Amino acid sequence: MDQLAALATFVRVVDAGSLSGAARSLPSSLTSVSRQLSALERHFGTQFVRRTTRRLVLTDEGRMLYERARAILAELKQVETALSANREVPTGRLRISAPTLIGRMLVAPALPEFLRRYPSLSVDLQLVDRTVDMLEEDIHVALRVGYLPDSQLVARKLGDIQMIVCAAPSYLERRGTPTAPAELTGHDCLAFSATPGLSEWRFGRQARSESRIAISARLWINSLDALLLAAEEGAGIVRLPSWLVQRKLTDGSLVRILEDHEPPRSSLHLLFQSARLASPKTRVFADYLIERWRQADPFGSRGQRVLRA
């Protein structure tokens, strides 16, 4: 007996409400349907269906088998769909959401090569500094920094982001180098915000040692790359993500300070819908971006001078 075929026939019998209805929908002969049902009952040693003159009635065992069989067949169908999707050529429009600066400086430069590799694809990159609703806004792939709530989305980690406090050598020579977060109150700080006022910088790798320092900045800018330029010119002390300042720290344009007080890293993830539903275009983009960033190493994972373990 082909057990899968027999299970599929049993489910069809229950759905149709009769052996003849199942035979018509398969299509198959009434004799073949009856034979498969009888073989299934003999195999399990129990009766699944009671036949009356008017209808079929499921036994308790039959109801249990029906629910389990439907789940098994649905799972097999999903596997079949996923395997066949792997053989498909990615086509259509891919909608990507990313934080503004990460999207502009890290994602956008990767897109020309991606489009050359997949000429049947087009890309819509949306740069927004908010959490998007991927289903409601029809987003196929989203980059997200920080905590991920439980959801039906699949997350692939791209890297870790450390917030780094740093300043130009010229500023530190002029004003001195702070050795503790509390000393920042006596320095010129550069803050990221759309609304000037008080800002808090978080320090401490462990929850017990966490502290929040109120920063009264002399310069407020709602653009991280503009803050980077101001810091390079010696305007003050700035706190920026590691991937943005990595090269500046390496070439000496900026100096990392308060390293022992830095907060835990935040993870950057690539999000997309369940792997069962993900389309070929989604998967090839995820694979491409992960491989490209593994080679380019924008988060400094191969070195320890910028990102520490």
Q: Where are the domains of the chain?
A: 3-85, 92-161+266-296, 163-261
Name which of 162-176, 262-276, 281-295 the model is least confident about.
262-276
pLDDT at 47 over 80: yes
CATH value of 3-85 in 2.40.10.170, 3.40.50.880, 3.60.15.10, 1.10.10.10: 1.10.10.10
Specify the DSSP element, H or E, that contains 50. Answer: strand 49-51
Spatial distance between the Cα atoms of 166 and 249, rounded to a whole number of angstroms: 9
Which among 144, 142, 140, 106 has a CA at the least distance from the CA of 225? 106
Q: Are 90 and 118 in contact (CB under 8 A)?
A: yes
Averaged pLDDT for residues 57-71: 85
Q: How confident is the model at residue 155 (pLDDT cuts 50, 70, 90)?
A: confident
Q: How confident is the model at residue 42 (pLDDT cuts 50, 70, 90)?
A: confident
Spatial distance between the Cα atoms of 195 and 202, rounded to a whole number of angstroms: 19
Question: How far apart, in Å, are the Cα atoms of 26 and each of 2, 10, 174, 208, 244?
Answer: 16, 11, 84, 65, 61
CATH value of 92-161+266-296 in 1.10.10.10, 3.40.190.10, 3.40.50.2300, 3.60.15.10: 3.40.190.10
Q: Which residue has the higher pLDDT, 81 or 43?
A: 43
Give the pLDDT score at 307: 31
Q: Which residue has the higher pLDDT, 109 or 193?
A: 109
pLDDT at 30 over 90: no
Averaged pLDDT for residues 89-100: 88
Averaged pLDDT for residues 17-33: 78
Please report the DSSP string for 158-186 in residue order: EEEE-EEEEE-HHHHHHH---SSGGGGGG
CATH value of 163-261 in 3.30.420.40, 3.30.1640.10, 3.40.50.2000, 3.40.190.10: 3.40.190.10
Spatial distance between the Cα atoms of 32 and 6, rounded to a whole number of angstroms: 10
User: Do 163-261 and 92-161+266-296 have the same topology in CATH?
Assistant: yes
Q: What is the dihedral of CA 79, 81, 86, 88, to 10 degrees?
A: 170
Beta bridge partners of 189: 237
Q: Which residue has the higher pLDDT, 183 or 275?
A: 183
Averaged pLDDT for residues 275-287: 77
Q: How far apart are the first and last CA of the chain?
A: 57
Spatial distance between the Cα atoms of 268 and 302, rounded to a whole number of angstroms: 16
pLDDT at 225 over 60: yes
Which among 166, 158, 185 has a CA at the least distance from the CA of 253? 166
